Chains A and B, each alone.
Chain A
């Protein structure tokens, strides 16, 4: 029990640190749900990993995975996943296929250009694209939910391509 609390605190610290450093690509924060119940401790894999194993990484039946990188980035007006994004998908796919009780929320975003509601739809398309890829990598429907924030919750301030590139993303949240 105590070990889990330490792990939760450590992960919470990592997450909050990710909030503060705006330019951090790995800042996989949980922006929308201010009242979320916090980080799940369900991490026992199908091969019987103990309750003390770290959530940030593990080994499932499909192989080792790391959950530290929670963000997939996209090109302007596009929803295709590039190779860096596919690596994130592969890791989470292995995690989900070896952890049937695990659930993820895929949060889609767009950069600020263009109209707000069209960007909500674009963000949803991106999140659905990631959901499809995760299912191909071993996840089931019931493990995934999708929400879009469009351009409303940017990760990076600024009105240039450097900021926009960081805002066209899907964030994986638990």
Chain B
């Protein structure tokens, strides 16, 4: 019972933020802009059955469907088709475990929706161990308005995923990305924020001029990005809940590649107005700047380590674009990457032990993982034109952009390289940035 009470307390604040964001940011219908298919997931996946939840007739929402889709999309689970279910219990007392052992299930999820006294919808679910015939998890999710049922479904999937894999879930998260369409004077850009499964896309910014490099603040409340106005670039900060837009930096030349420090107080950007593209550390509150690199080479695409002490960046000071590491406090950069022709666009993993990069191997661009200590490199994707890797906040999955039949599209890969999926969408979809856990 205490488990349920603790959950109520800890979940309520995290539901407020998406509710606010949904109200105040221009939102379209809850359609999936991204169509997802999984490749190479079945080996080693756990069998799980997610029985349809009992639902009052006036509520038309399939929580079990979203939970199942999340778990399957991770590549770590295979789901029993509903047609193969011999029963559809919604309470533990209704479960006959023989019916589930008979179809080879190890795990069973059941649940029910009900109207709460104040008019909201409450979801109750159980995760059951089929072979032991016992309950593993049981939760009463806090009551929500019906438009928040997708969020609750993702939270349920997160709880199940964490219990069965030992890793924190990542389904109740957001992604930002850029779409581009048309050529020449007809070109249009949009900056979009969507749920991690592609639903609920919301346009944050739209322009005939370039939009690029979206990056999340550590608290998930703001997006910084690069926009152009009258042929000049600038770095903007957009507050998601209010739509407030602040032009943060706009020097002559390049204003690019913004990235937040883990404590949210500083940003590193690339500016070229003094000599050539170099890294600058800016205190957001005071606007004070400290120049981090001063080299005639291109220094760009900075990324903070999770402890805030190290910056990884792309530099061609050695003759070709490679990834370097440098203490934020100052000091000589040390080259990290030596394999292939180029290595670019570093992104630290949440545990700080590895860095995702874009590796150019003989003209083939793929996503690779580099061990920070040893420099050992492991390719995660095939290319030939993969770029923009971004870690999910649990560190288990990386989203990136690739070229499919329709043009640029998003894809994800598990960090062990085993499970890859495509997220298809009309038009070019690029520069994904995975948002943090909401606080």
Contact = CB atoms under 8 A, between A and B. Distances in A.
Interface of A: 16, 19, 22, 27, 29-36, 77, 105, 107, 112-118, 120-122, 124-125, 146-150, 152-155, 157, 159
Most buried by B among A22, A27, A32, A159: A32
B406 to A, nearest CB: 12
A83 B58 CA distance: 74
Interface stretch (B8-16, B206-214, B283-291): B206-214
Contact of A122 (B189, B298, B385, B430): B298
Given A31-B184, A121-B254, A147-B231, A115 B345 contact: yes
B232 interface: yes
B298 A125 contact: yes
B385 A116 contact: no
Contacts of A19: 183-186
Given A117-B213, A118-B321, A153 B187 contact: yes
Q: Chain B contact residues: over half helix, strand or loop, or mixed?
A: strand
B36 to A, nearest CB: 22
A164 to B, nearest CB: 10
Contacts, number: 114
A146 B232 CA distance: 9
Most buried by A among B360, B387, B431: B387
A16 B184 CA distance: 9
A118 B89 CA distance: 55
B152 to A, nearest CB: 36
A120 B185 contact: no
A35 B316 CA distance: 35
Please give me the 7 A-B residue pairs with the lowest Cβ-Cβ distance, nearest first. A115-B345, A19-B184, A115-B344, A117-B257, A121-B298, A34-B208, A121-B277
B392 interface: no
B369 interface: no
A117 B187 contact: no
26 contacts: A19-B185, A19-B186, A32-B210, A32-B228, A34-B209, A77-B320, A107-B231, A112-B385, A113-B365, A114-B321, A115-B301, A115-B314, A115-B344, A116-B345, A116-B388, A117-B213, A117-B270, A118-B301, A118-B314, A118-B345, A120-B256, A121-B254, A121-B256, A146-B253, A147-B232, A155-B184
B187 A31 contact: yes
